[in-house]
Every structure is written in C-alpha cells, then in structure tokens.
Chains A and B, each alone.
Chain A
C-alpha cells in the first residue's frame, strides 16, 4: 500500500498536466467545429447540382462530420496520440526509474516481494490513467453537448471514451514490458516517443481497407471512431487482440521482473 501511495503521489502532478493537455486539445479542436460546419453547408449546397446518386454517396462521407460527435472523431486521433504518449511514459518509467534513480536497492530490501511491488505500481498506474480518462470524459462530454442541438448520443460517446482508456492500458502494458526487458533505460522520453510514433506512423497506412492485416500491428487502429459511431460497438477481433496484448505484456512483465537481475549501482 505504501508503494501504491508513493507512486500516486509522485505521478500526481504529471497526471494533472496530462489531463490539462488532453482537455485543452479536445477543446481546441471542438472550437473549430462551427467553422467546419460552415464549409460543409456550402459544399452540401453545391452538391444539389449533381445527380442524386452521387449526392447520396458523398452525403455518407460528409454526414458523419456534420454532428459534433462525428467531428469529434477527427480530433480523437490526436487525443489518442497524446494519451498514448502519457500511458507509454508511465509504463516505461514506473519500474525503470528505480534503477535509473538508484533507488532499486532501497526498495528491494523492503519486506515486499517483487510481485508485490509490481502489483502496487500497476494498480497505481491504472488508477492514474483511470482518473485521466474520467476527468477527460466528463469534460469533453459537456463540451460536445454544448455544441450539440439535441442529437448527443451518450452511449457512443462513452464507448469512444472507454476505447481511449483501453488504448492507454495497451500502451502502458507495452511500455511496461519494454522497460522490464531492457537492462537499463537511461531516459524514458526517447524510448516511449519512439515506440508511440512508430505505431502512429504504421497506423497511417493501415487505414485503406477494413480487412487489413496491418491494422493488427498498431493499437491505434483497434478502435476506429467511425466504426463506433456507425455501429455503436467495437470490432470484436481488434478488441480481443488488444486485450490479449495487455494480458500477455503484463504476465510477461511479472515473470521477467520477478527473476530479473536488478543492478543496484
């Protein structure tokens, strides 16, 4: 419990900062909604001159952006990106910092097992990420509602937010695994940014078709906001893959960390 409390305390300020970043990011994107809305209306008027079949086709594309929630899905990509960095930083940092700050021997000599340490650190991280997700969900919920007339679909919005949380956990788990496997991580940021942006770059190419093998390679593609908005559910295959990644990464971290040779100097 002490380790848990200590971790919460140490990461409290960083988490506050991230909550602020995420909320302002969402707010900035939403602030442009009326402008985009104006462009969209002009374009839809233009569409009247085209044959109805074409109009219908383009209508599908444009319609999703005409509601605040649909537009929010566009901003969501960047929110996810930031959230992933936060989670990856936490995952890579939370265990490796003991070695880096030379506090490992202090911690390891305490009457607490390695699994106990990992339990505490993991639950502290989940709590921190959970708080981030919760505050963000409430804040953006009000934000989007403010722009909606009456068509705010709470269920779909909550599904998107839950997806955000699951994604954070996935990235956290990957980061944890990396940090446990590495002998020593000198600086967290380069490692976590490298991994996150690598996945982000891959995800840019995994979008061309629905049944795309590449999509499995990058967590960014597991929860597509368009799919959630259109169907009100997740794509099961990707959800399962995501959960498997979490389980495998966490289990492997436990196994490896409990027998890892931790250098104290």
Chain B
C-alpha cells in the first residue's frame, strides 16, 4: 500500500501534464470541425468511392464523413490512441525501471516486501493512473462531442471508441512493464518499448495502404482497434481475445523475469 500511494504521488505532476495535453489536443482537433462544410458534390464522392481502399488511405479520403461530428472525431481518435499508447508504454517501463535509474532499487528491495508485491503495487498504481487519463479523455471528448453534435447521437460510438482506448492503454502498459521486467539497463526498457510502438504504428500505416500485407495486421495493436471497423461495423471479436491473451502473457513475463533478474545498483 505504501508503494502504491508513493507511486501515485510521484506521478501526479506527469498525469496533470498529460491530461492537459490531451484536453488541448481534443479541443484543438475538434475546433477544426465545421458541420456546415459541404460534403462535395456527388460525382466527386462517387469518384472517391471507386478508388481502391489502398489509395483512399494513401490520400486520406473516403471512409469517414467529415460533416458528422462523431466521424470527424474518429479521425482525431487515431492520434488520441497514439498519444495514449506513448503514455502507457512510458508509464509501464518507467514505473518499474526508475528504481534502478534513480538508484533507489537497493532502498526499495531491502524493505520487507517481496518483489512480487512491489510489482503488483506498481502495476496497480499504473492502472489507476491510466484510469485517470482514460476518464479525463472520456469526459472531455464527451463534452466536446455533445457541443458539436447538436443532438445527433454519438454516445454509443464514443463508448465503443473509448473501450478501444482502454484496451490500447493496457496493451502498451504491459509491453512497457514486460521490457522493464527483462532489461537491466533502465534506459533500454523505455527505448525498446518505444521502438516496438513505433514499428507497430508504421506497420499499421503500411497495412492500410498495401492490401497484400493484410496478414501483418496481427502484429500491430493499432490495427486491432481500427476506428473504421468499430464505427462502421464488421468488427471482429478475435481482436479483444488476442489482446487479453497478449496482456496476460506480457504481465506474466514481467513477473517472471523481474523476480529473477539481477538489479542494476
């Protein structure tokens, strides 16, 4: 419990900054939304509709109707997810490896708590922090969407999107924790987590554009929660299942390796 409280206190400032950044992003992003914008005349839409999916993605057109607040938000949402992923992966690796970075590992490990308990407390604290970030994002998105939607229904769609937000948070938190569990060098775990995240992001972009590489979407978390599929239907239940399995494996791995490895003093 002490560790839990300590971690929450230590992260107060960073969570405030992240929340402020997120509020700004959502507000500035939705500020660009204008409901009055014409959707273009029909022949243009037809032309775009005929475009192969790969080219649509390449040019960033099609799929979403930018005159509907929720669908505009869905485009913004990819970047929100991205920000959440960075936050989570940094949190997961940092919260464990910082003891070694700040040379407090000795101090902590001589206390009468097992490593397992330490890890549990730290992970619980991380989840709490993620929850705060989640709720703030949800609240600000809700408020801004209800302002722009002008009565159009958005609650259901937003709820689905936010569910994927939470899933991405947990996935990347466990990636970060996993690397921090393995690597002795505190700098390396953060770098490894980030590298994995960047590769996933770029693979997600490539998969969008190059249809032949569709099978690669299983290795990138960002494709598990594609706003297109979530909002437009056709979402496959397989992805949440894979996510749960991956999270379980990673967390297990984090415990397994962290309990056995040497600490960097």
Do A and B belong to a common assembly?
A: yes
Q: Which of A74, A200, A205 contacts B29 (CB 8 A)?
A: A205
Contact A201 B98 (CB under 8 A): no
Q: Which residue of B lies closest to A47 (CB)?
A: B47
Chain A CB within 8 A of B19 CB: no
Chain B contacts for A194, CB-based, 8 A: 17-18, 21, 86-87, 90
Q: Which residues in chain B, 58-76, are within 8 Å of chain A measured between CB atoms?
A: 58-59, 75-76
Question: How many residues of B are counted as interface, with CB atoms below 8 angstroms from the partner's CB atoms?
Answer: 44
Chain A contacts for B58, CB-based, 8 A: 36, 65, 74
Chain B contacts for A40, CB-based, 8 A: 55
Q: Which residue of A lies closest to B59 (CB)?
A: A61
Number of inter-chain CB pairs below 8 Å: 95
Contact B194 A193 (CB under 8 A): yes
Q: Which residue of A lies closest to B75 (CB)?
A: A204
Knowing A32-B209, A190-B94, A194-B21, say if A43 contacts B55 (CB, 8 Å).
yes
Q: Which of B47, B87, B94 contacts A187 (CB 8 A)?
A: B94
Chain B CB within 8 A of A251 CB: no
Task: Give the CA-CA distance A35 to B87 in the complex, in Å.
Answer: 35
- B interface SS class: helix
Q: Which residue of A lies closest to B79 (CB)?
A: A201
Chain B CB within 8 A of A50 CB: yes
Chain A contacts for B187, CB-based, 8 A: 187, 189
Task: Give the CA-CA distance A202 to B21 in the complex, in Å.
Answer: 10
Knowing A198-B21, A205-B29, say if A35 contacts B210 (CB, 8 Å).
yes
Task: Give the CA-CA distance A84 to B205 in the complex, in Å.
Answer: 18
Nearest CB of chain B from residue A191's CB, rounded to whole Å: 10
Chain B contacts for A36, CB-based, 8 A: 54-55, 58, 209-210
Chain A CB within 8 A of B3 CB: no
Chain A CB within 8 A of B190 CB: yes
Chain B contacts for A74, CB-based, 8 A: 58
Knowing A35-B212, A190-B190, say if A198 contacts B94 (CB, 8 Å).
no
> Contact string, B167-199, partner A, CB cutoff 8 A, digits 1/0?
000000000000000000011001100100010
Chain B CB within 8 A of A230 CB: no
Contact A58 B194 (CB under 8 A): no
Task: Supply 14 further A-B pairs (C-beta < 8 A) apart from A187-B101, A200-B82.
Answer: A62-B55, A78-B202, A187-B186, A189-B187, A190-B90, A193-B86, A193-B90, A194-B18, A194-B86, A194-B87, A198-B25, A201-B29, A201-B82, A201-B83
Q: Which residue of A lies closest to B26 (CB)?
A: A201
A-B contact pairs, 18 of them (CB 8 A): A28-B202, A32-B209, A32-B210, A39-B55, A50-B47, A54-B44, A58-B47, A62-B55, A187-B98, A187-B190, A189-B90, A193-B194, A194-B18, A197-B82, A197-B83, A198-B21, A198-B25, A201-B79
